[in-house]
Amino acid sequence: MRAFREAVEAGDLDAVEALLADDVVFTSPVAFKPYPGKAITASVLRAVSQVFEDFRYERELDGGDGRDHALVFTARVGERRLSGCDFIHLDENGLIDELTVMVRPLSGAQALAAAMGARFDEIAKEAEARSASAS
């Protein structure tokens, strides 16, 4: 998904948010339950953009139907290097309705979990404010 990739690479988080469907479901590599909704997904992605260092997409894969995509990336969290993949599904309007992220190795996932966990209260407050302003 070229528009998502370009927005992420440019650090344009407003453009990333504009690509999300209201009912998007975000599945984190370090959380048990998925996060439903645009507000929480946008807030998580904003926090991740601060946590990941040296982030770069390396490859883009297309599922062939135009609705399924995978973006392979590398990044660093503190001293831990990691690689991962954003799995993206588009709804009938071309908006992202599913975003699943996977990362490896375990040490990288643990560093990501710790960094995001330390920010979770802030993420939840931002999502609540986004949700309230969208209503």
Distances from the Cα of 58 to the Cαs of 55, 72, 83, in angstroms?
10, 6, 10
pLDDT tens digits, residue range 79-122? 999 999 999 999 999 999 999 999 999 999 999 999 999 999 99
- Residue-level pLDDT at 133: 84
58-66 contacts, C-beta under 8 A, 24 or more apart:
60/1, 60/2, 60/5, 66/90
pLDDT tens digits, residue range 35-90? 999 999 999 999 999 999 999 999 999 988 889 999 999 999 999 999 999 999 99
- Residue-level pLDDT at 80: 95
The structure tokens listed for 131 are: 């949700």
Distances from the Cα of 111 to the Cαs of 11, 47, 85, 135, in angstroms?
22, 14, 17, 35
- CA 15 to chain CA centroid, nearest Å: 13
pLDDT, mean of residues 10-27: 97
- Residue-level pLDDT at 46: 95
pTM over the 0.75 mark: yes
Is the pLDDT at 23 greater than 90, yes or no? yes
- Residue-level pLDDT at 1: 77
Is the pLDDT at 31 greater than 80, yes or no? yes
Domains and CATH numbers, the chain: 2-125 (3.10.450.50)
- Residue-level pLDDT at 7: 96
Band of pLDDT at residue 123, cut at 50, 70 and 90: very high
